[in-house]
Amino acid sequence: MKPESTKDFIVSGDDRYERALPLLDNYKNKFSLSNAFELLYAVRQEGAWATRVSFVYSANKQTVYYVENNNFEHIRKFKFLPV
């Protein structure tokens, strides 16, 4: 979404997508699980509107990796079982 389309509803931290774009551009075609969490850490929100859950899905491993309450030192995982 273009920032102008939601300017009436802007709150602190709403520039996350604009801050993420140059970081994503730096990764090019090499983007690992640790890169994903570096990016999520860089754009996390704090305070009243703090990020509660950040997650990354690995299609190859059929696994969700996630952190709760900005605790990026403790990455947890949930693996989907085959059906």
d(CA 56, CA 47) in angstroms, rounded, equals 23
* Geometric angle at alpha carbon 41, from 36 and 47, rounded to 5°: 145
Comparing C-alpha atoms, which of 62, 68, 58 is closest to residue 33? 58
Comparing C-alpha atoms, which of 55, 44, 59 is closest to residue 13? 44
User: What ranges do the domains of the chain cover?
Assistant: 14-79
User: 36: how many CB neighbours lie within 10 A of its CB?
Assistant: 17
How high is the mean pLDDT of the chain? 86
Comparing C-alpha atoms, which of 64, 62, 60, 65 is closest to residue 83? 62
pLDDT tens-digit profile, the chain (83 residues): 566 676 665 656 567 888 888 988 998 888 899 999 999 999 998 888 889 999 999 988 999 999 999 999 999 999 988 87
- Per-residue pLDDT reduced to its tens digit, 37-59: 999 999 998 888 889 999 999 98
